Amino acid sequence: MSRQLKGRGEEADGGARGRARSGSPGTGDRSGRRPSRKQAPRAEGAAAGRRGAQPGQKERAGGSPRPGSPRRKQAERRRHGEELGEQGRSSTERTCEGRRKRDGRASLKEQRAPPKKEKEVPRKEEMWKRPKKHRSPSLASRPSGVESLSEEELAQILEQVEDKKKLIATMRNKPWPMARKLRELREAQEFVEKYEGALGKGKGKRLYACKMLIAKKWVKFKRDFHNFKTQCIPWEMKIKDIESHFGSSVASYFIFLRWMYGVNLVLFGLIFGLVIIPEVLMGVPYGSIPRKTVPRAEEEKAMDFSVLWDFEGYIKYSALFYGYYNNQRTIGWLRYRLPMAYFMVGVSVFGYSLMIVIRSMASNTQGSASEGESANFTFSFKMFTSWDYLIGNSETADNKYASITTSFKESIVDEQESNKEENIHLTRFLRVLANFLIICCLCGSGYLIYFVVKRSQEFSKMQNVSWYERNEVEIVMSLLGMFCPPLFETIAALENYHPRIGLKWQLGRIFALFLGNLYTFLLALMDDVHLKLSNEETIKNITHWTLFNYYNASGWNESVPRPPLHPADVPRGSCWETAVGIEFMRLTVSDMLVTYITILLGDFLRACFVRFMNYCWCWDLEAGFPSYAEFDISGNVLGLIFNQGMIWMGSFYAPGLVGINVLRLLTSMYFQCWAVMSSNVPHERVFKASRSNNFYMGLLLLVLFLSLLPVAYTIMSLPPSFDCGPFSGKNRMYDVIQETIENDFPAFLGKIFAFLANPGLIIPAILLMFLAIYYLNSVSKSLSRANAQLRKKIQALREVEKSHKSVKGRTTVQDSEDTAKDTSKNATQHQLTKE
Amino acid sequence: MGSSGSRLSKELLAEYQDLTFLTKQEILLAHRRFCELLPPEHRSVEESLQIRVSLEQILSLPELKANPFKERICRVFSTSPARDSLSFEDFLDLLSVFSDTATPDIKSHYAFRIFDFDDDGTLNREDLSHLVNCLTGQGEDTQLSASEMKQLIDNVSSWARPGSRREGQGLGLTLSLPQILEESDIDRDGTINLSEFQHVISRSPDFASSFKIVL
């Protein structure tokens, strides 16, 4: 049955083609659309009617500027697409021939119903206009089989229109000169417009027209939006200047910085929009409760600049820090659940950052799917892809020439004698020594920080401490970050690595240094937090007794209720969360200042000195010793990444930190752009950026994860302070979620959540996830194995093909030229299958 | 900025946006920059679309000035019979291919044509040595010696020759040199054609990011 149906369908198809062919000879299309079951029985009548349509068709076609052009164009396009002038034509011809054969069958049936011809013409015209969309309902309602024929044609036209649209959409991918593209585009658009307008009738027509209009508007809107988006990207010109001066590697830092700025803007919007602004607008005003008031003891110095600079005084008791927030469940007339919002924003800051980092990593890797294969093409890569087309500065270009030459020479030498170890024992000894020294440095810096943080805790208990003693931690950390990397570089000179490998080691060591410093800092801070937590109980008692004594004190008129104790006088705990937030805030600010001062001293003053003292100096300063500074990409990127890590860690306890960071990134964009253009010189060894791009992203992800850990630890296992912050009075911070579920959601939801939180469910879920990871991993492994096997197969096949070809001799030269024109990547495969 | 009053028509702009990888602003900027190259009396829109700018003027653009392939780039994109001048549309084509959003396929297609110095559809020995000369600059000290050059090019072509001495690296999808060329003595060293070239380029991690010119 099905076969029969199919056969009939083919007939109908053939009929359609027959007509189509007679309308525009010599061309064809591939609308191999199988009619549905309903249609099939009517196919005969349909085939008959098709002839009838012919005159009308022709007339209509004659009226248009280019009769029959759509199909011819389509064929043409196909040919262009394949880019094989000769072959393409022959293939179309072949298909046409096939069709002619089938048409032979169909034409028999066409002849059976000649009398219908004339009267069907007008109907035909109408049907022509019916859109595809309405096909099935109209089919069902229609009595005769005549009309289903036009559906066929309609489908064809629609298909062509779709083809044209596709062509329009992909035109820009064609390597044609603009004039030709314009011509093709105009033709295609004309066609689309002509037939699009003709498609549809009555209600359907209007609907169709509407749809098309909306589609057009949508395309236009998308394009405008895209234009708008690109216009909104800031600093394009600055980055372009840097690109042309320093090549893409230095510019990649600035692009990274800009990206970071965007991410921080989003975080800033989240935190300010959902936490700080609601608190400022709707929360209890300053001075109404103890946590929002400067204590009496600090009051007189609270506005001093030196105090404010340390984020103490009024700044400490402001919405910038955790401690200011009240634990009232809802605030304002909106009944905004601030503690809940605070918690959720804290979580979503991490969620968003994770998502965006992973997304950009994924989009970076998409381009270069095959990492492992790059080793196969070292020479061709050096040849074909080593030039950086963005370079527009002759000095940079010279450097680039030099570096390319060196890399060529190097690779030749490598090729000649890849194993030229002179004194392997000495090298090994030196490398071990260097690593030992560096580990010593790392340990030393870690201990130094621990020591300093401990000492600062003692200082904080003392009354009058000097400026240095107050800021010792930040200063020491910044100094370590400033002087250790050059020290590492000096030590690394011992190792005698290839510069590229050396750079990797250097990056790894700086990363370890920063990470070690950060974590030592955190550990010391954690000690402090625990200390404060243990003191909390006593302070709680003191507070309680103070209030109790105050209200129950004798000698007060019982009839008049006593005015409440002024909030500034209430004794309160140390609020470890705010203390942590302040530490991060100070660290960020001092880090920023040290960076700027380093740039100013190390780059700008050095450049000035070299530039102007060169006239009266005994050696050539510009070429000789100090010379100009190069832009330290890796150091800067790492600094940026760690700064971001601090922001992530601190933003939960200091919501204002992100705002500070946005300012910092903004200023550093301008400042560093200026510094790099004014006082740096292009790199001696210009290396490419994109390769390390994902490396930096990976580091960022790692730092994000590492900064997530301490925050998650404090949220999950430390009790919040009893008298400050949005979670005060709770046992744990995450209790706020449970509270919301219990009070604000219907009971069954609470049950569901309780059920979901059951370990009996979570453990299987985690197991399932592991299994899924395992499964996906094995699938990807097997796929890559299959990939490798296919590659081997192709190779083997090509060997066979070659021997084959050599027999055939010159005749196959033509063949290889054909493949040369083939744009598809599987060109060789095509060739094979052809053979 | 020259002829600030002259703007491209909306329809033309829309078409250009359809046909290139450029945004509206980029097209307008390109037009402005192009007009700056024209003599002042020819700066109306109609004329700027018709007139061609000679190679020397295009090469004086700061974006192209330091590029060793600047002449090749212009020649490849030129549609004039003598291949020595660019119309505005050619200029747009150039910028589109070198723009950030262009697909790697089209970039590598044009890269091939740029490297194909003799326009014969394949990269042969002469093309490759020409390419190396371009990459190493004009200075005496940076130029490679003849033997180095030969070795380099042998290397570049030898990954393409399975069974040659670089077997360790020659695995993977080695590019087939048409062996027929060697055997029939047409070209002993073999050549690289477009599909092979695109195959190599598609493996390169940083081609698409460096094959860029921004106005």
Out of A371, A380, A819, closest to residue B193 by CB: A819
Nearest CA-CA distance, residue B41 and chain A, Å: 25
Neighbours of A600 (CB within 10 A): 14
Q: Is the pLDDT of residue B21 over 50?
A: yes
Percent of chain B with pLDDT over 90: 0
Angle at A306 between CA A304 and CA A310, to 5 degrees: 115
All residues of chain A having their beta carbon less than 8 Å from the beta carbon of residue B92 are 178
pLDDT digits (tens, 9 = 90+) for A209-219: 788 788 888 88
B96 contact residues in A (CB cutoff 8 A)? 172
A587-639 pLDDT per residue, tens: 899 889 888 988 898 888 988 888 888 888 777 777 767 778 888 777 888 88
Alpha-carbon dihedral sign for residues A59, A31, A166, A832? negative
Yes or no, beta carbons of B205 and A368 under 8 Å apart = yes
* B152–A408 C-beta distance less than 8 A: yes
Say whether residue B6 is in contact with chain A using an 8 A CB cutoff. no
Give the closest-approach CA distance of B47 to chain A in angstroms.
Answer: 16
Show the tokens assigned to A304: 């001093």
Tokens of B64: 């192209």
- Residue in B closest to A693 by C-alpha: B206
- Residue A659 has a pLDDT of 93
**Chain B residues in contact with A409 (beta carbon < 8 A):** 144, 148
Output the pTM of the full model: 0.70
CB A816 within 8 A of CB B178: yes
ipTM for the predicted complex comes to 0.76
d(CA B206, CA B211): 9
H helices, E strands: number in chain B: 14, 4
Q: How far is CA A500 from the centre of its chain?
A: 27
Under an 8 A CB cutoff, do B142 and A405 touch?
yes
Of residues B64, B155, B211, nearest to A415 (C-beta): B155
pLDDT on residue A666: 94
Q: What is the mean pLDDT of chain A?
A: 73
Read off the pLDDT band of A411 (50, 70, 90). low
Q: Name which of A189, A232, A376 to mutate to probe chain B: the one with the most chain B Cβ atoms within 10 A of its Cβ.
A: A376
Q: Which residue has the higher pLDDT, A260 or B89?
A: A260
Cα nearest neighbour of B110 on chain A? A175
Mean pLDDT of A403-425: 65
Q: Are B7 and B44 in contact (CB under 8 A)?
A: no
User: How confident is the model at residue A180, as a pLDDT?
Assistant: 81
- The Cβ-side half-sphere exposure at B96, using a 13 Å CA radius, reads 30
Percent of chain A residues past pLDDT 70, beyond the cut: 70
pLDDT tens figures, A359-391: 988 887 765 444 445 555 666 677 777 787 877
The total of other beta-carbon atoms located within 10 Å of residue A244's CB is 23
Tell me what pLDDT residue A197 has: 62
Ordered DSSP codes for A688-739 = -SHHHHHHHHHHHHHHHHHHHHHHHHHHHHSPPPSSSSTTTTSSSTTHHHHH
Residue A345: band (very low, low, confident or very high) from pLDDT cuts 50, 70, 90: very high
Lowest average pLDDT, out of A501-510, A601-610, B13-22, goes to: A501-510
Give the percent of chain A with pLDDT over 90. 13
Rounded to a whole number of angstroms, the distance from the CA of A811 to the nearest CA of chain B is 10
Ramachandran angles phi, psi of A392, nearest 5°: -125, 15
* Residue A694, min C-alpha distance to chain B (Å): 11
Which of A383, A403, A800, A802 to probe the B interface (max B CBs under 10 A)? A383
pLDDT bucket at A276, cuts 50 / 70 / 90? very high
Query: Which pair of tokens denotes residue A104?
Result: 């032979």
Interface contact A823-B204, CB threshold 8 A: no
User: Which amino acid appears at position A356 of this protein?
Assistant: I
Amino acid identity of residue B21, one-letter, is F
Q: CA of B194: how far to CAs of A86, A575, A787, B197, in Å? A: 18, 69, 23, 5
Pairwise CA distance, residues A447 & A459, whole Å:
18
Highest mean pLDDT pick, A99-113, A121-135, A732-746, B114-128: A732-746
pLDDT at A287: 81
Closest CA relative to residue A671, chosen from A622, A636, A627, A628: A636
The mean pLDDT of A232-261, rounded to a whole number, is: 84
From CA A511, how far away is CA A516, in angstroms rounded?
8
The pLDDT of residue A262 is 93
Q: What is the residue-wise DSSP string for A334-362?
A: TTB-HHHHHHHHHHHHHHHHHHHHHHHHH
What is the C-alpha to C-alpha distance for residues A501 and A523, in angstroms, rounded to an integer? 32
Chain A nearest-CA distance from B35, in A, is: 18
CA nearest to B11 within chain A:
A186
Helix (H) or strand (E) holding A570: none
Q: Which of A411, A795, A805 is facing B180, going by the closest CB pair?
A: A805
pLDDT tops 50 at residue A294: yes
The rounded distance, in Å, linking the Cα atoms of A667 and A672 is 8
Which of A337-351, A569-583, B21-35, B124-138 reaches the highest mean pLDDT? A337-351
On chain B, the residues whose CB falls within 8 A of the CB of A401 are: 68, 135-137, 139, 142
CA distances (Å), origin A714, targets A517, A647, A709, A733: 19, 16, 9, 9
Coil, strand or helix at A201: coil
Question: Percentages helix, strand, coil for chain A, rounded to the nearest 5?
Answer: 75, 0, 20
Question: Rounded to whole angstroms, how far apart are CA atoms A646 and A664?
Answer: 13
Provide mean pLDDT across the span A513-532: 84
Residue A543: how many other CB atoms lie within 10 Å: 17
Characterize A41-52 residue by residue with b for buried, 16 or more Cβ atoms within 10 angstroms of its Cβ, and e for exposed.
ebbbbbbbbbbb
Best of B10, B18, B148 to substitute, by most chain A Cβ atoms within 10 angstroms, is B18
Among B193, B120, B197, residue whose Cα is nearest residue A383: B197
CA-nearest of B79, B9, B6, B10 to B42 is B6
Are B113 and B76 spatial neighbours (Cβ–Cβ below 8 Å)? yes
Between A and B, how many CB-CB pairs are < 8 A? 253
A246 token code pair: 């320093």
List the single best residue of B52, B136, B209 to mutate versus A (max A Cβ within 10 A): B209
Contact A226 B96 (CB under 8 A): no
| B 55-114 near A (Cβ less than 8 A) | 62-69, 77, 79, 89-90, 92-93, 96, 98, 103-106, 109-111
| Residue A537 pLDDT > 60 | yes
Both tokens assigned to A571 = 């004794």
CA distance B70 to chain A (A): 10
CB atoms B64 and A392 under 8 Å: yes
Lowest mean pLDDT among A91-105, A276-290, A545-559: A91-105
